[in-house]
Amino acid sequence: MSDFRQGNIVKPYERLNREQIDRIHEASMAILAEPGIWCYNKQAAELFEKNGAASVLEDQGDSPCWRVRLPRKLIESAIAKAPSKVVLGARDPQNRLELDAEVPRVYFGSGSETNVWLETEMVEFVDPNDDSDRRKLPKYTEKRGSTALLARAAHLCEQLENLDFFIRPVNIQDEGITEQNHDVNKFFASLNNITKHVQAGLTSLDALGDVVNMAEIIAGGPEELRKNPVLSFIACIFKSPLQLVDDTAEKVFAIVKQGLPLVISSSPQGGSSAPIQEAGIVAQINAEILTGIALTQLIKPGSPVLYGSVPVRARLDDLHDLYGCPEFNQYNLDCVQMARHYKLPCYSSTGVGNAKVPGMQATFEKLFSHLYMAASGAQYIHYAFGLLDRTNTFCPLQAVLDNEQIGLAKHCMRPALIGEAEREEAVEIIRKVMTTNHKLFTRHTRKPVRAGLVSEPYHFESKTGEDHVLEKALDHMAALEARPVKHLARDMVERIFDEIPGLLPELKQSM
Amino acid sequence: MSDEILEKIATNVVQGRVEQEDEGFDDGFEGQPAVTELVEEALEKGIDPNDILIDGLTASMTTVGEKFEKGEYLIPDMLAAAEAVGAGMDILTPHLLKAGVKSKGKFIIATVAGDLHDIGKNIVAIMLKGAGYEVIDLGVDVPTPKIIEAVKENGAPFLGLSALLTTTMRNMEEVITRLKDEGLRDKIKVCIGGAPTSQDFSDKIGADGYCSDAFAALDWVKALAA
């Protein structure tokens, strides 16, 4: 693992027993057999049919739809062809990720395409009755996502030591951004500011060639890119429940043919687009993801693919997503186990806050899922940094706070270090200390501290009677952002700008 | 030769190594002679015990203090160094007495009656010993008469009382009252410490000082000696 990020190998918390896993699988197979899926993509319907599915054209209108009933054999034999190990590359080879379905090594990363960037400043307020009583409180400003802010997010995420991969947390909405140049700009703004793995959805299929060309320039050539895929894609191929989307399916065909890693994700909402009951939503999302993965393997067997599970539940007062709740953890934990059952690396979710700003509520909601999902053993956990107001807002200050929390969660999940050597050392130390007058073990803490085995206190703690967490985190963020940006080499950038159309000139000028 | 061994002692104090088998702050020290072995070797070679004390043991504690101030050292590193000095002092004391060198003074320390907590008290004891004081540690749950007896017997100029419980801290006042009753109060300076205590409480019961931690205790006793 020397050429990869270390991640954390955990002893997975297993919510489902073997019988329950089998029941979910059986339910998913039953759903895919009847009612089957509503497939809005002709190519996919034909490919499924060619491989044994029953496909019937149900709607011949503007959006033709095939009802495809998928037999168990098709799904099971196709997913068995998917690799259990996927490597996600990075500009810095030390930042590559090895996702092995049979190893519960956990990585955490950002996500996902919010429209609002929430800026924080601390403003001093004075008690009108006591001029000496001055307190700093956070003041928030909403900004519209832009390429400049995406570049800033990438640079900040490069500095966050507990962030293992980068999914753009903010949507780019600059004046010069169109559907055609959206992809090249978002990938360039990211890759030019971070040396970790970069992943995103593909907005326009037409842009795929340019994006891949850019990635090949960065990786050093077509072959080098396939060995070290510095970027990868996410395709939410299903609109829940069970409707296979036409244009996303086209993108899946094209990405798979390019030989680049792809997440097949699905995000049903328990209570609206899926049953709220655990068995129901998990059986459904499992059916949707397996169908997507089966499609990738029918297109090209052995294609690198991740089992992308983002099950959420509805809050019942407004039917928005509800994060930081028990069901979110339960649904997601179950999906991680299902992915492990199929020997597929798992893209999972954690850490979103319903809260609109950083603070106690956000901290509670995030920690609630960070700890559970760290224990899940999912290989690739997104949504973990900076997301607030469900997934509508990215707050960089919150990302810094999450980095601290995830660091401690990762530490918490370290395996117990109790081998023979540790047993012997324990007895020896206790015997030794008990011969002293003071009976203090302090000197024996030094070795484990030096070895990095002992966690540090919360970095933003306050030693006075007031809470200064946000102020301290903001200072830390300023220090992180002041570090030099790890841009691509100048000649590489020139070549990218020469060869790739549609890049905003300001992305080069700001270097 | 003398300089070399004193430098080695100083280095091992900074590394917080009492015995040969101890690890240091930095790697690569295990198995090499530490403060205990080096002080014995220095004495065997006829080096003046006072030089060992000053150039080998106590001077290096200044370096340790600086490292702590800079955040390079944590409490365990500081205590390990103080413990190393204490171990060296144990070996040196009879030689120093023989040579007529006086210690910095006796410091009696105890957790008062009814209270079994001793972590803070022990840390203070290690630090004081490491700073060159002759520490007489009476232990925990020490009845007031036993403390008075020790004060009389040792003629110590300093007394430190510790308590962690609100129910036992009142016994500190009892000790001070008994010191007055026995006519000893003017001969000894008393400091108190422990989580429920405070400067206000110290003032209220008539102690001479309140020490919030081991560093405060060191500052307190050094200020009295100055």
Percent of chain B with pLDDT over 70: 99
Res. B99 pLDDT band, cuts 50 70 90: confident
Q: Would an 8 Å CB–CB cutoff place B188 in contact with chain A? A: no
**Residue finishing a domain among A399, A428, A450:** A450
Res. B211 pLDDT band, cuts 50 70 90: very high
| Phi and psi torsions of B109, nearest 5° | -140, 140
- Could you tell me the residue range of the domain that residue A430 belongs to? 420-450
pLDDT of B128 higher than 70: yes
Q: Is residue A305 part of a domain?
A: yes
Nearest CA in chain A to B118: A438
Q: Is residue A379 part of a domain?
A: yes
pLDDT of B98 higher than 90: no
Distance from the A308 Cα atom to the nearest Cα atom in chain B, whole angstroms: 44
Is A339 in the same domain as A395? Answer: yes
B125 and A447 within 8 Å at the Cβ level: the answer is no
Substitution target from A429, A435, A446 for chain B, most B beta carbons within 10 A: A446
Residues listed for chain B:
226
**Residue finishing a domain among A55, A79, A103:** A79
pLDDT of B2 higher than 80: no
List the one residue out of A250, A280, A279, A248 whose CA is nearest residue A265. Answer: A248
Which chain B residues have a beta carbon less than 8 Å from that of A437? 122, 125, 137
Q: Would an 8 Å CB–CB cutoff place B77 in contact with chain A? A: yes
Q: Can you give the pLDDT at residue B69?
A: 86
Q: Is residue A478 part of a domain?
A: no
**Residue finishing a domain among A450, A471, A500:** A450
Q: Can you give the pLDDT at residue B180?
A: 96
Is A51 in the same domain as A115? Answer: no
Is A197 in the same domain as A343? Answer: yes
Q: What is the CATH number of the domain that holds A345?
A: 3.20.20.480
Question: What is the greatest pairwise CA distance in chain B?
Answer: 56
Distance from the B116 Cα atom to the nearest Cα atom in chain A, whole angstroms: 13
Q: Is residue A469 part of a domain?
A: no
Percent of chain B with pLDDT over 90: 62
Q: Can you give the pLDDT at residue A490?
A: 95
| Phi and psi torsions of A347, nearest 5° | -95, 115
Is A353 in the same domain as A401? Answer: yes
Q: Can you give the pLDDT at residue B32?
A: 94
- Residue in B76, B126, B137 closest to A446 by CB: B76
Q: Can you give the pLDDT at residue A84?
A: 98
Q: Can you give the pLDDT at residue A2?
A: 63
Complex ipTM more than 0.95, yes or no: no
Q: Is residue A361 part of a domain?
A: yes
Please provide the DSSP assignment of A7-27 as one string.
-EE------S-HHHHHHHHHH
Substitution target from A428, A438, A449 for chain B, most B beta carbons within 10 A: A438
- Residue in A440, A446, A449 closest to B119 by CB: A440
Is A73 in the same domain as A105? Answer: no
Contact A197, A165 (CB under 8 A): yes
Is A186 in the same domain as A306? Answer: yes
Contact A312, A322 (CB under 8 A): yes
Q: Would an 8 Å CB–CB cutoff place B5 in contact with chain A? A: no
Residues of chain A with pLDDT under 70: 1-2, 511
d(CA B207, CA B189): 8
Q: Is residue A245 part of a domain?
A: yes
Q: Would an 8 Å CB–CB cutoff place B23 in contact with chain A? A: yes
B125 and A445 within 8 Å at the Cβ level: the answer is no
d(CA A125, CA A133): 8
Distance from the A445 Cα atom to the nearest Cα atom in chain B, whole angstroms: 7
Contact A356, A389 (CB under 8 A): yes
| DSSP-assigned letter for residue B57 | I
Is A257 in the same domain as A299? Answer: yes
Strands (DSSP E) contained in A229-338 are 231-235, 238-239, 243-244, 262-266, 269-270, 305-309, 312-314, 321-322
A343 in the Ramachandran plot: left (φ > 0), alpha (ψ -120 to 50) or beta?
left
Is A69 in the same domain as A98? Answer: no
Res. B130 pLDDT band, cuts 50 70 90: confident
Q: Is residue A511 part of a domain?
A: no
d(CA A148, CA A171): 11
Which chain A residues have a beta carbon less than 8 Å from that of B80? 442-443, 446
Domains, chain B? 2-98 (1.10.1240.10), 106-225 (3.40.50.280)
* Interval B4-39: pLDDT, tens: 999 999 999 999 999 998 988 888 898 999 999 999
Is A330 in the same domain as A446? Answer: no
Is A66 in the same domain as A118? Answer: no
Q: Is residue A465 part of a domain?
A: no
Strands A65-69 and A37-39 come out as antiparallel
Contact A237, A292 (CB under 8 A): yes
Place of tokens 């640079």: A155
Is A45 in the same domain as A108? Answer: no
Domain count for chain A: 3
Residue B202's Cβ-count burial label (10 Å; 0-12, 13-18, 19+) is buried
Q: Would an 8 Å CB–CB cutoff place B6 in contact with chain A? A: no
d(CA A386, CA A393): 8
Is A267 in the same domain as A300? Answer: yes
